[in-house]
Structure 1
């Protein structure tokens, strides 16, 4: 659900529902990043969210460049998107993701907002928008591995990446993307998809040359086109990163932002009030933020050309941390390994979902009992379809046969477990099986009753007494079974009575039925069907003769 449904102006922290959730945390003892799976599950695996397609909007870039500050304006818009004055009271402090003034870093690891925002696309589909804040790269307290892992994870899971830069787009800013563009080109070759990533938004802060190029989208696009232009004088590596950027991202844009004003950087007690921010900066916020969060620009996260859901994103995070646990620095080959495993996991979930939907239609819910042999046939057919769907959608894993086979085996095992549950569910609808225990117990009771009468008739009273005891025992069992069945208490006793009844049925009653009753009943049914068919044929023949006679009489 939306983190905020109030359509009025946000004027206090109380109006904002939700809080930042750290999901990638640095261990204080080992300095190694660890994924907080429980915290991540609290966001992505909530009812109403886990089956939604997702858009992950992340802000990344160097440390102390205002990423969290910007993200809180995005958060304010999401909470108040239905209001024209979504920026709210100009005297209210800026709340949401934690930020502060100064030269020391504030954000560590990766955080997401606790409540995804539901946004309706033009197609009518609702997608879950997740806002992500990331640790700034290349600060004095982080190693190269720390910065690269955070940036890599951000890049791989986001569908809209806001690349936050200062003053201009520098060559090293582009080269920071080289590992990922190299991966993107290799991934595209492996899965024949058009783009490895969705949307890249360069955001140039404190643009200092408005007299040459104006602030905003138009000016930013002009600067970007000029910087990404390939010339013969450029180093081959610089040419490659420009060429690959265009190929890897479906959409690349740039926005030039003015300076927020000297009060923002010079006052230690600045708390984000609009009154303290330069009006020109505020006006560009009114343009940039709604544009970034417009439904048409909130693209669904895709992997291998397939849109993924929140539960798939949860698995993506887990897979990434498993792949990079023992890796010094992410390389294109490592990213391809991650892509193969993540793609296989997502395709597995899609195949399993297809199987569940098919079986639910067949035997789920209030569907009637299905014959066991027919159910087995349908299971095998739907299992094959699920595996075929897995192989078709697993585009990034196609050239890694080891990974494909591993996840295919896992899919088949999970489907077999699901099938066992469907069998139990279907058998519970079998009226005859449900009545087997009371019918068996009652038959045994009547058997001892008849024997008791026969023994009593011939004066064999000791045997009659034993039969009476047996009759009483089965009567008690039948009474207890009925009590357990309808009260829900002493279930273990009920299970034991069912096992006794099953033993009697399989070893005594069923053979008797098969030997002495099944064939006569079958013959009687066939005879009745034959007589009914003969009667229908005779009736049709008589009616045909009568019609012919009437026709002849009419013609004469």
Structure 2
């Protein structure tokens, strides 16, 4: 099938945003469109590059990350109308996702989605003999649909580079086809023979994809085929090892498959099986980690009030048990011994997450956050009193020493305040915090019992701000266990 009008420029991996530090960061476009997630570097060694940043933004979007996923892709020879056909899939899903909200269940033979007078847009397409698609592209916004059981499922559309063109090697064609079929939900292959769209499509250089310019027989069969593929009763979940995948888990499979196809030679079936087993266990780790983070966010997230370190540790242990139980209950490939290394990785990830939550929680502790300026101001007052006292006694040398110390303390307070409110000199501000913590731990806190009511306040603050000691003891315990 050949067509002659392109609907939109194809995105490039070079369309990136570069910040002032020189770090390259690519962001999803504001409006949904096709984005390239796998690029074939044909100018050098025909290697494959995965755009991990874009793929993570799509698959880890909170709206879809933990929803089951269906991946619908097209693959085959170049210049046969793959992208052209995929845009009708896109039109149907766009209409269907809106129609379900308004009309509820839609009849299978409802052809309102076809919009015969609208130009075809979405994935880049055009006629001629030159290839139009490079690598693998997916639509940047998954469609949320209901499956036959009424469960909400994320639907991804995937376009692939055509095979057997003059620029691609045999390995390029085989790799693209293998990746697309391994990622695709559809494993039960069936046939649907589409008629030719008509001579007007093949010969008119101004053809823009309007259905009114396409033969009626093609339109009729299009209205039969697409609902049979994309209707809620026909959607096929992505499954591996009998387990339905979520978008979060699919990301791990994508990464694992890309690693084994990076070499110069096509991988052996055994290597592909091991990559699938690895991705399967990594997906279980990702799901378990997400379960831990969801539980912890509810008890100590950014909007929750401060809680004591001991209580936070109890919540960590509880959520950690939930996560490990979820990992062990997940269906995994590779056997028990193979999965143990991923269990260790999960425990390490959970410990890192706990330390992050601990820092956030300690930041909510007003006493701890104000410890440095309080101690420094107190030292300034005490130092000033001693300076004046020794001047009255005529001991100017000792008074001068206290005056020098006072200048140092004032300078430290100024550096700390500037660091906190400007974001600059952060390392210097950290040194000031460390120095104050040393003074607090070794001189002020041990003598709190001799300071009356002030000492009681110091002891209470010490109890509230004991997060670092607990963290250190927790870390040492983990190191001993490991």
TM-score calculated relative to the size of structure 2: 0.71
Of 189, 196, 208, 1:260 maps to 196
- Say which of 434, 437, 442 aligns to 1:502: 437
Consecutive unaligned residues in structure 2, runs of 5 or more: 1-5, 11-30, 100-110, 461-482
Q: Return 340-349 or 55-64, whichever deviates more.
A: 55-64
Partners of 2:41 and 2:49 within 8 A in 1: no
| Residue 111 (str. 1) matches residue 137 (str. 2) | yes
TM-superposition CA deviations, 1:225-269 (whole Å, max 9, x none): xxxxxxxxxxxxxxxxxxxxxxxxxxxxxxxx4x23552686475
Task: Kindly state the Cα deviation for residue 288 of structure 1 after the two structures are TM-superposed.
Answer: 2.2
Matched, 1:407 2:342: yes
Q: 1:388 to 1:264 in 2, by over 3 A?
A: farther
Shift of 1:34: 0.5
The partner residue of 1:77 within 87, 92, 96 is: 92
Query: Corresponding residue for 2:474?
Result: none
Q: Secondary structure at the match of 1:365?
A: coil
CA shift, 1:350, in A, is: 0.9
Q: Secondary structure at the match of 1:291?
A: helix
Q: What is the CA deviation profile of residues 256-308 of structure 1, one whole-angstrom value per residue up to 9, with x for unaligned ones?
A: x4x23552686475844434433122112122223322234334433344444
Q: Normalization by structure 1: what TM-score?
A: 0.63
CA distance in 1, matches of 2:136, 2:447: 70
Partner of 1:158: 184
SS in structure 2 at match of 1:203? coil
> In structure 2, what is the Cα distance between the partners aligned to 1:266 and 1:439?
80
Change in Cα spacing, 1:149 to 1:443, as seen in structure 2 (3 Å) is same
Counterparts of 1:148-227 in structure 2, within 5 Å, are 148-159=174-185, 161=186, 200=188, 202-205=190-193
The structure with more radius of gyration:
1
Once the two structures are TM-superposed, the CA of residue 340 in structure 1 deviates from its matched residue by: 0.6
Distance 1:24 1:491 in 2: 39
Aligned mates of 1:13, 1:103 — CA distance in 2: 17
Of 65, 73, 90 in structure 2, the residue corresponding to residue 51 of structure 1 is 65
Structure 1 residues 137 and 13, CA, compared in 2 at 3 Å: closer, same or farther?
closer
Residue number in structure 2 paired with 1:37: 51
1:322 aligns with 2:337: no
Q: Does 1:425 align with 2:372?
A: no
Larger mean CA deviation between 340-349 and 307-316 belongs to 307-316
Residue 60 of structure 1 corresponds to which residue in structure 2? 75
In structure 2, relative to structure 1, the CA distance for the partners of 1:468 and 1:28 (3 Å cut) is closer
CA drift at 1:332: 4.2
User: For the residues of structure 2 that align with 1:365 and 1:329, how far apart are their CA atoms?
Assistant: 47
- Provide Cα deviations, 1:437-469, integer angstroms capped at 9, x if missing partner: 233224433433554565466554553454455
Q: Whole-Å Cα distance in 2 between the matches of residues 469 and 39 of structure 1?
A: 53
Distance 2:344 2:252 in 1: 18
Residue-pair matches, total: 420
Q: Does 1:382 align with 2:382?
A: no
Separation (CA, whole Å) in 1 of partners of 2:377 and 2:386: 14
1:102-146 alpha-carbon deviations (Å, 9 max, x no partner): 777655543323443343568776543221123455678766544
After superposition, give the CA deviation of every residue in 1:487-524 in whole Å (9 maximum; x if it has no partner).
65654554343233222212221222267769x969x9
